[in-house]
Structure 1
Amino acid sequence: MQRLVMTSIFALGIATAASATVVSEDSPAADNTDSVYEETLDFVGNPVYTSDGEMIGVVSSATTEADGDRMILVTFDDSFNDEYAGWEFELDDKWETTGELTVLWTAEELKGWIDANGALQQEAREAAKVEN
């Protein structure tokens, strides 16, 4: 079975907790030397947890688009979700990582969102294939 990647048109809440630092847009980078691209790459390898502490996967890639948008791909652990490969979303441009990310939803809430949106995204992909 092919595992699909979920995408999010909005950044599902990610809690800062002790895992990320929010800085103002005009603040310099934490070490004053990293570019936005380098700061985005710092997310790769970070574990991702739900608000109730369940590890859902790791950040497997992070990119900075030509327009400056920062995207990360969270690859799901099979134990969290074996139908979808991962979840890609835009990262707020003010975020820097300190080693892990925590989503604001519980595991149950996130699984519900994935189930609801995964079916819609699959339908959209199939409709796009028919049009082409």
Structure 2
Amino acid sequence: MAYELNGENISYDYEELIAELKSDIAEGLIDTSSIINIVRRPNPKLTRVNYTPIVDYYYPRALMELTEPLEVLYNRDEYSQEEWDSMEEERKQRLEQYRKDEPTFEKATVLAVLTEMEQWNSII
């Protein structure tokens, strides 16, 4: 559902995030009552309707998983040195992004987030 403002439809493309959340629910990683941390970023096309879209989300245990040694989570012998180095670099980047996003976290249930995204979902 899009919103109308002065005869113009206003919406936001949430297809990817909706698919990710629904996949996580189907895999049993979360359920609709789970509390997640969401990240919003301003979008110039939506400022006139006073809406700041959701651009990412984190599970509450994300920081623990990002700081846990890789050796605890994965069997080191199953990866080449190149693969392991790549995993460590990706993890470092994800932790940096988490730290940058953390001050802006909003807590919400998965159901509330899905409902909001489905209401706004559409390509602008």
Tell me which of the two structures has the higher relative contact order, counting C-alpha pairs closer than 8 angstroms and 6 or more residues apart. 2
Normalising to structure 2: TM-score of the pair? 0.23
Q: From the CA coordinates, give the structure whose radius of gyration is larger.
A: 2
1 or 2, which has the higher strand percentage?
Answer: 1
1 or 2, which has the higher helix percentage?
Answer: 2
